[in-house]
């Protein structure tokens, strides 16, 4: 049994920025303008480790560093291994590129028919609308383009992307991502969503965003107003650790669901951050408490300079196995590997089938007990019925 949670344990408030007035603190543009980005910004508030000092060097032509004041407050400053800190403060190991790592680990570039559109699956596309984020995750799968530290020069035309979607009638699902789409202005987001809603074959639109986590202030009335106009809109957020579940994030999620927007969560399995069952169960319980459905748990992509954050596939499977039967079914995400070189997402599941033969399937439940279920039940029933009819 896992201990129960209480909202009293969730972080919230201005923390280190107690002197800033409320109006500024809750203004998302103030949060962006006051992000910590340079080594000197961090040194004032954290005792940087040698590895982190080297990390700032390594980040220069790899992926920008930026952390909003809201998210910085969630860091435990006394712990150099704080799981929140390790997601956003660079380490020297970022400059180590192992032989299996790639700049484009899931092969997006080769399935880009026009700049900004990744068309990997027949019925749905990934539509990259910006290369900017509120804060930068050190294991970013799109490090090659996000923040432009590697000089990718991302500047696709939104109209060209929309035109591609309009012309391809097989596309029923559009996933807006980047970068983070919710960093665009209300007007720009509204314009993209309205254009999509005018395309008859587009049934379903998602926004992939970490803004509610990094910058919950962005989820203000005018954004909510604009999003609420679109009945086919879902949102995927990205939370990895229960410590990211602030009361402000919860508030933002409850406001979004109140507008009728369902929310899913995508986590990345990260070494020493969330790759243990206790941490994962606390995270997924907190997600349910804010009406967020855990959707995917990703094995960390083979992006260059991320091996220090990568956990093992076996750990991911063990976590899923350990959760099954022990908690709410809704709480359990699907563990997936986004296959290298463009294979797409492949689900991995722990095995609960002990044996499968011609007459029965022997199931192993969450407590390790064995149960038999007849194989080919329908066939048995039909042939028995026929036999009975023959003998009447
Ligand atoms: C993840 C992804 C999608 C969406 O996949 P779902 O399994 O529907 O969530 C679509 N296109 C690309 C290229 C993706 O990487």
Write out 213-268 in H/E/C secondary structure: HHCHHHCCHHHHHHHCCCCCEEEEECCCCHHHCCHHHHHHHHHHHHCCCCEEEEEE
Residues 111-144: tens digit of each pLDDT: 999 999 999 999 999 999 999 999 999 999 999 9
pLDDT at 218: 98
Q: Residues 6 or more apart from 252 whose CB is under 8 A from it?
A: 212, 216, 219
Residues 60-109: tens digit of each pLDDT: 999 999 999 999 999 999 999 999 999 999 999 999 999 999 999 999 99
DSSP β-bridge partners for residue 266: 296
CATH node for 1-265: 3.20.20.70
3-class SS of residue 360: strand
pLDDT at 313 over 60: yes
Nearest CA to ligand 1 atom 5: 345
Atom nearest to 336 CA in ligand 1: 7
Q: Which of 124, 112, 104, 130 is nearest to 175 (CA)?
A: 124
pLDDT-based confidence at 377, cuts 50/70/90? low
pLDDT-based confidence at 392, cuts 50/70/90? low
Annotation marks residue 132 as catalytic: no
Nearest CA to ligand 1 atom 2: 126
Q: Residues 6 or more apart from 343 whose CB is under 8 A from it?
A: 106, 107
pLDDT at 390: 77
pTM assigned to the model: 0.95
Q: Which of 11, 71, 14 is nearest to 37 (CA)?
A: 71
Q: Taking residues 44-56, report their average pLDDT.
A: 98
Kindly state the helix (H) or strand (E) to which residue 195 belongs, with its residue range: helix 186-197
pLDDT at 258 over 90: yes
Distance of CA 317 to the CA centre of its chain: 18
Q: Which of 147, 136, 49 is nearest to 91 (CA)?
A: 49
- Expressed in angstroms and rounded, the spacing between residue 125 Cα and the centre of ligand 1 is 7
pLDDT at 389: 78
Which residue among 125, 344, 347, 348 is best mutated to probe the pocket of ligand 1, counting the most ligand atoms within 8 A of its Cβ?
344
pLDDT at 387: 77
pLDDT at 18 over 80: yes
Instruction: Please state, as a whole number, how many other Cβ atoms lie within 10 Å of the Cβ of residue 61.
Output: 10
Residues 147-191: tens digit of each pLDDT: 999 999 999 999 999 999 999 999 999 999 999 999 999 999 999
Residues 318-333: tens digit of each pLDDT: 999 999 999 999 999 9
Annotation marks residue 300 as catalytic: no
pLDDT at 75: 98
Q: Which residues line ligand 1 (CB under 6 A)?
A: 118, 120-121, 124, 126, 175, 345
Alpha-carbon distance of 310 to 313, in angstroms, equals 9
pLDDT at 201: 98
- Expressed in angstroms and rounded, the spacing between residue 126 Cα and the centre of ligand 1 is 7
User: Which of the residues 35, 124, 206, 218 is marked catalytic?
Assistant: 124
Nearest CA to ligand 1 atom 12: 126
pLDDT at 80: 97
By residue count, the chain amounts to 392
Annotation marks residue 191 as catalytic: no
pLDDT at 242: 98
- Tokens 């907190």 map to which residue? 286
pLDDT-based confidence at 391, cuts 50/70/90? confident
Q: Which of 288, 277, 271 is nearest to 2 (CA)?
A: 277
Residues 209-223: tens digit of each pLDDT: 999 999 999 999 999
In this structure, what token pair is assigned to residue 116? 């900004």
pLDDT at 186: 97
Annotation marks residue 124 as catalytic: yes
Average pLDDT, the chain: 96
Atom nearest to 126 CA in ligand 1: 11
Indicate the domain borders of the chain: 1-265, 353-391
Nearest CA to ligand 1 atom 1: 345
- Expressed in angstroms and rounded, the spacing between residue 20 Cα and the centre of ligand 1 is 40
Which residue among 161, 175, 202, 268 is best mutated to probe the pocket of ligand 1, counting the most ligand atoms within 8 A of its Cβ?
175
Annotation marks residue 120 as catalytic: yes
pLDDT-based confidence at 2, cuts 50/70/90? low
pLDDT at 356 over 60: yes
Q: What percent of the chain has pLDDT over 90?
A: 94
Residue 116's φ and ψ, nearest 5 degrees, are: 95, -15
**Would you give the end-to-end CA distance of the chain in angstroms?**
56
Annotation marks residue 140 as catalytic: yes
Q: Which residue has the higher pLDDT, 24 or 383?
A: 24
User: Which of the residues 137, 245, 253, 300 is marked catalytic?
Assistant: 137
User: Which of the residues 86, 131, 138, 140 is marked catalytic?
Assistant: 140
Kindly state the helix (H) or strand (E) to which residue 45 belongs, with its residue range: none
Q: What percent of the chain has pLDDT over 70?
A: 97
Distance of CA 118 to the CA centre of its chain: 18
């Amino acid at each position: 049994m896992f201990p129960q949670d209480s909202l009293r344990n969730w972080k919230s408030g201005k923390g280190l920025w107690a002197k800033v007035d409320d109006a500024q603190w809750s203004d998302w543009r103030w949060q962006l303008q006051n992000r910590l980005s340079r080594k000197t910004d961090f040194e004032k508030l954290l005792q940087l480790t040698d590895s982190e000092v080297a990390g700032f060097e390594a980040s220069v032509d790899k992926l920008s560093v930026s952390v909003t004041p809201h998210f910085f407050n969630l860091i435990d400053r006394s712990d150099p291994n704080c799981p929140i800190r390790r997601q956003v403060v660079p380490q020297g190991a970022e400059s180590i590129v192992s032989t299996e790592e790639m700049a484009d680990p899931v092969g997006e570039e080769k399935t880009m028919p026009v700049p900004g559109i990744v068309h990997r699956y027949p019925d749905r596309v990934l539509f990259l609308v910006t290369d900017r984020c509120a804060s930068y995750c050190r294991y970013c799968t799109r490090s090659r383009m996000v923040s432009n530290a590697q000089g990718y020069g991302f500047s696709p035309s939104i109209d060209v992307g929309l035109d591609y979607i309009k012309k391809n009638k097989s596309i029923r699902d559009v996933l807006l991502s980047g970068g983070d789409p919710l960093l665009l202005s209300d007007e720009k987001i509204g314009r993209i969503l309205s254009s999509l809603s005018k395309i008859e074959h587009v049934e379903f639109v998602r926004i992939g965003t970490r803004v509610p986590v990094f910058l919950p202030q962005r989820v203000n009335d005018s954004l909510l107003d604009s999003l609420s106009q679109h009945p086919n809109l879902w949102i995927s957020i990205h939370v990895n650790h229960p410590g990211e579940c602030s009361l402000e994030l919860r508030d933002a999620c409850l406001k979004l669901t109140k507008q009728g927007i369902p929310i899913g969560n995508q986590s990345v399995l990260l070494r020493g951050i969330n790759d243990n069952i206790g941490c994962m169960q606390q995270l997924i319980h907190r997600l349910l408490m804010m009406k967020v459905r855990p959707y995917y748990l990703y094995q960390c992509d083979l992006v260059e300079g991320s091996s220090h954050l990568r956990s093992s596939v076996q750990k991911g499977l063990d976590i899923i196995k350990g959760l099954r039967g022990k908690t709410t079914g809704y709480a359990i995400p699907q563990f997936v590997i986004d296959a290298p070189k463009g294979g797409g997402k492949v689900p991995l599941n722990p095995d609960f089938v002990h044996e499968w033969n011609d007459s029965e399937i022997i199931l192993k439940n969450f407590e390790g007990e064995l149960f038999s279920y007849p194989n080919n039940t329908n066939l048995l029933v039909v042939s028995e019925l026929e036999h009975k009819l023959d003998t009447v």
